[in-house]
Amino acid sequence: MKRRVAILISGRGSNMTALIEAAKEHDVPAEIVVVISNKADASGLPNARDRGVPAVILESKPFGNDRAGFEAELQAVLDDNRVDLICLAGFMRLFTAEFVQRWQGRMLNIHPSLLPSFPGLDPHGQALRAGVKISGATVHFVIPETDAGPIVMQGAVAVRDDDTPATLAARVLQIEHRIYPDALRLVAGGGTRLDGGVCRTTAHGRSGDTLISPELA
């Protein structure tokens, strides 16, 4: 039986689109049953509807700092749709620890850096200022601490000397669109287990999978 998935967005939801398209494949053990936005003008809403996925607006602004009140309404939508897993895709609102704990091991997020390096805002700027030669994206389970949950999957790109935050972000975004659907497939298919603060998986990298940057000829 396919796991029922909700995607939470606040904006364009490009990762949302990647997840929806990937879930259309017959062998994916996940079904995107609803997209929920906390902003009425999120451009991802019509994209979801165009792809046949119901899209719900649950504005967070009227709740102000009442995060628990917003989460109660959100939980009602999740319950109505019998959601098993949550994927955050550019959802720009923090959750209470209580909500996160309720969904422990069932809520995924993607962050555009190789965590635990460069959490939080401006990860590409952080990476360039640090002078790293490899950056990328990380899919992780959500815990109360920001960008700190058990890592499910990572993908990497080389950092170029002439990169700007924008050019690096564009290449990392391509990696995000590859690994988020794969991570959801892995989790929905029962291919992960949490061992303390570490996510163990049944998947293994191919032998010889290395990325060296800069690589000498």
Q: What angle do CA 25, 209, 89 make, to 5 degrees?
A: 45
26: annotated active-site residue: no
pLDDT digits (tens, 9 = 90+) for 26-38: 899 999 999 999 9
Q: What angle do CA 119, 125, 126 make, to 5 degrees?
A: 45
| Catalytically annotated residue among 111, 124, 140, 177 | 111
- Domains, in order of start, for the chain: 1-103 (3.40.50.170), 110-199 (3.40.50.170)
Q: How far apart are CA 169 and CA 167, in angstroms?
A: 5
Region 122-130: mean pLDDT is 98
Q: What is the reported pTM? A: 0.95
Check if the beta carbon of residue 113 is closer than 8 Å to that of residue 136: yes
